[in-house]
Amino acid sequence: MIKKWLLSNLIGVIITVFVLTTTFGMVYSLVNKDKISTQPNNVQFRSGPARTYKSTAALKRGTNLIILKKTRGWYKVRRADNEKIGWVAGWVAESKTLRTATPISEATIVLDPGHGGKPGEKYDGLSGDNGSSSVNGKYFEKTYTLRTARHMRTALQKTGARVFMTRDKDVLVPLLHIPRLAEKYQADAQISIHFDHAGNEDGATTASGVSQFYYHKNSHALATALSEALNSLPINNRGIDRTQYVVLDRVTRPATLLELGYINNPENFKKIRTKKYQMAVATLITHGLETYFKQHTEMK
C-alpha cells in the first residue's frame, strides 16, 4: 500500500524531500554562521584587534567561539566554554593548513615589488616603469622584483602570516598609493623589493651587494632583523641606512626597502635572475621576520 502510494506520488515526494533538505541546510547555516571552532593550536586570545594587544590566553584546537564583530581580519569573539570576550586573528583561527600558531602567524605583511607596467602605457596618469636593466638592456628590474615577491609570499603564507602584495602583475603602482594597503590593514611590516643600479644606464658596474633602508624609528628593528638574515646570501651585505624614500616616509607602519643586488653587475645578475637566488631571499626574509615577530610579540 505504502509502496504503491510512493510510486504514484514520486515526483511530489522528491520535491518535498528537496525542499525540507534545503530548508534545514539554510536554517543550520544561519544558526552557525557566526560560530567558529579554532583549527590550529596556540591561537592567541587578545584584548584588542592586533598582535600588539595583550594576550590573555592561548586557545587549543577545537575551541568554540562566537563571532561578535569583524575588523580588518580580526574577530571579536566570545568563548563558548567560559563566556570571556576577546579578539583572535581570523585567518589564524580558521587556518586549515597551520598546525600551531607562532608569533609571525598573526602578522599582516605587505610586499611591494618595485616598478612595473609597460613604458608609454598610463596608470593613473603615470607611465609604466621597467626600473633598472641588465647590462645588455634585455632584462628589467620589474620582472625580478615581482618574481622574488611571489616566492616571498609563498614562504610567508606557510607560517600562517597574512600577506598582501601591492601588485601581482605587470602594472605600475604610483608611489603615493603604495602605503595605502599597509595603512588600510594596519600591516605589521611593509617590505619594498628592488634591485640596485650604479653608473651609466647602459654600462656595467663593479658595485656589488644588498642593502636595507628604513626611515621612521619604528622601522629600525625590522630593517635590522632582515639585514641580519640577509647576511647569509651569496652576495655581500652593504648594511642598513636611513633614507627618506616616499614608500618609507609616507607610511606609519614599520617599513623597509631592500635592494637585493646590482642588476647591472654581471656577477650579481647571474644570481638575481635564478629561481634559486629568489627562493633563498624568500627563505631568509621569512627567517628574519620570524625572529623579528618573536622578539616583538607577547604570547601566552
pLDDT in tens, the chain (300 residues): 555 554 566 566 466 545 455 444 333 333 445 999 999 999 999 999 999 999 999 999 999 999 999 999 999 999 999 999 999 999 999 999 999 999 999 999 999 999 999 998 888 778 899 999 999 999 999 999 999 999 999 999 999 999 999 999 999 999 999 999 999 999 999 999 999 999 876 789 999 999 999 999 999 999 999 999 999 999 999 999 999 999 999 999 999 999 999 999 999 999 999 999 999 999 999 999 999 999 999 999
Q: What is the pLDDT of residue 6?
A: 45
Its pTM stands at 0.88
Compute how many other C-beta atoms are within 10 angstroms of the C-beta atom of residue 28. 10
Q: What is the pLDDT of residue 124?
A: 79
Q: What is the DSSP string of 35-86?
A: EEE--SB-EEEESSSSTTSPEEEEEPTT-EEEEEEEETTEEEEEETTT--EE
Residue 125 pLDDT: 79
pLDDT of residue 4: 58
What pLDDT is attached to residue 1? 56
* Residue-level pLDDT at 9: 62
Task: Compute the distance between CA of residue 138 and CA of residue 268 in angstroms, rounded to an integer.
Answer: 16
Q: Can you give the pLDDT at residue 25?
A: 39
Yes or no: is domain 35-93 CATH 3.40.50.740? no
The CATH code for residues 103-295 is: 3.40.630.40
What pLDDT score does 295 carry?
97
Q: What is the pLDDT of residue 199?
A: 87
* Domain positions in the chain: 35-93, 103-295
Lookup: cell for 216: 621612521
Q: Are 172 and 118 in contact (CB under 8 A)?
A: no
Fold matches, 35-93 and 103-295: no
